Structure 1
Amino acid sequence: MATKKLARQLGIIRRISKTSPGGQNHGKPKLRQLFDYLVIIDFESTCWKEGRKCYTQEIIEFPAVLLNTLNGEIESEFHMYVQPQEHPILSEFCTELTGIKQNQVDEGVPLHICLSQFSKWIQKMQKEKNIVFSSGHSSEGKLCAFVTWSDWDLGVCLQYECKRKQLRKPDVLNSWIDLRATYKLFYCRKPRGLNGALQDVGIIFAGREHSGLDDSRNTARLAWKMICDGCVMKITKSLDKVSGFPS
């Protein structure tokens, strides 16, 4: 009996690993979602110990994962390391926090090249999966929105770096879903960071904290759990106009 039980457990584990991000199966969405796909982004940037907060931060890791809100599958990923140019040498604190090594950013690309490659990936996803980016209903394709943990990634970090460097960022990055604010509203509790939010809903963080790609994957797992619990994802922030929250 023990052998059969173990075999069943292993079978469940294998089945789960194929059906949802990070091997967490939380069932099916309870409510129809506004968005068929979500692109989850979590940048890592240059950072220093307290006392040097006046330094401008630059993106050094640019990850994105595409989540299907119907089945919880991560269907595609984008990932690049980015060369910081204002402060090209990473601090010891930054390397320890993010796990990103100096040679990885040295071999990376400038932000404008990364944004160009990201735009190509987005265009590829739009073509392959018939994705459109819009806050309203569309009969022309499958609606998609961006998701971040807080407004910092797209509202502060990328926004101000592009302004300083006079770079044009893709217009689709002007609106997004703040999952931290959405989590707080939906569960009526303040999350203790991404890892704390995962723990509160019974998910173990997979990978390394403050790795941009791992953080993005885990944020996708949390979004899927929330969707299965009945949360309908809605745009919470727009740089084009003030977006009401909740909408």
Structure 2
Amino acid sequence: MATKKLARRLGLIRSRSAGPARGRPARSGREQLFDYLVVIDFESTCWEEGKRHRTQEIIEFPAVLLNTSTGEIESEFHAYVQPQEHPILSEFCMELTGIKQDQVDEGVPLKICLSQFCKWIQKIQQQKKIIFATGVSDLPTSEVKLCAFVTWSAIKEEIGHLK
């Protein structure tokens, strides 16, 4: 639910009264360019303030395919990932993320997770006729749908730890 609220606030989801993006008329105001968004919200290993001398690793890889016209989630991907460098989660990390040690122990290595994610992306591309444009010349015709990846990161917080 928080994903939808954030997407609406950022203007990434069209209002229900707005027409579909087919045909791509001239852009005006806040009309949404993308038919779909793949929203990713990683969780990673973490430690208490002052103990951040370790490299963070992805421990949860969730993604959803969000239809910007309807605001509905049309497909989901989820995997727990086994951390390799520091396989034991800190108490702080488990409390902060809600992820338990047994969940990552039963997870998959990141390489396998990425392979599974790529298969999921390929499947939704075929099913929904989605493309990921790399430039203005790549704007789709009416028979294909434009999609973008979005994620959230506390960059300011991360930079603060590097000082």
Q: TM-score range by the shorter chain?
A: 0.7 to 0.9
User: Corresponding residue for 1:62?
Assistant: 61
CA distance in structure 2 between the aligned counterparts of 1:147 and 1:129, rounded to whole angstroms: 18
User: Corresponding residue for 1:46?
Assistant: 45
What are the Cα deviations for residues 148-193 of structure 1, in whole angstroms up to 9, with x where unaligned? 12375xxx9xxxxxxxxxxxxxxxxxxxxxxxxxxxxxxxxxxxxx
Written as runs of structure 1 = structure 2, the 5 A alignment for 1:1-247 is 27-28=15-16, 31-135=30-134, 136=136, 137-139=139-141, 141-150=144-153
Structure with the higher strand share, 1 or 2: 2
Given that 2:15 and 2:69 are in contact with CA atoms closer than 8 Å, whether structure 1 keeps it comes out as no
Quote the sequence identity (%).
70
- Any unmatched runs of 5+ in structure 1? 1-16, 157-247
What are the Cα deviations for residues 62-119 of structure 1, in whole angstroms up to 9, with x where unaligned? 0001110111111011000000000000000000001100000000000000000000
- SS of the equivalent of 1:89 reads coil
Amino acid at match of 1:51: G
Amino acid at match of 1:112: K
- Any unmatched runs of 5+ in structure 2? 9-13, 19-29, 159-163
User: Corresponding residue for 2:26?
Assistant: none
Structure with the higher helix share, 1 or 2: 1
- 4+ long deviations beyond 3 Å: 29-32
CA distance in structure 2 between the aligned counterparts of 1:81 and 1:62, rounded to whole angstroms: 6
TM-fit CA distance, 1:53 = 1.4
Amino acid at match of 1:142: K
CA distance in structure 2 between the aligned counterparts of 1:99 and 1:109, rounded to whole angstroms: 18
CA distance in structure 1 between the aligned counterparts of 2:49 and 2:17, rounded to whole angstroms: 43
TM-align CA RMSD: 2.4
Normalising by structure 2, we get a TM-score of 0.74
CA distance in structure 1 between the aligned counterparts of 2:152 and 2:86, rounded to whole angstroms: 25
TM-fit CA distance, 1:29 = 5.9
CA distance in structure 2 between the aligned counterparts of 1:66 and 1:132, rounded to whole angstroms: 13
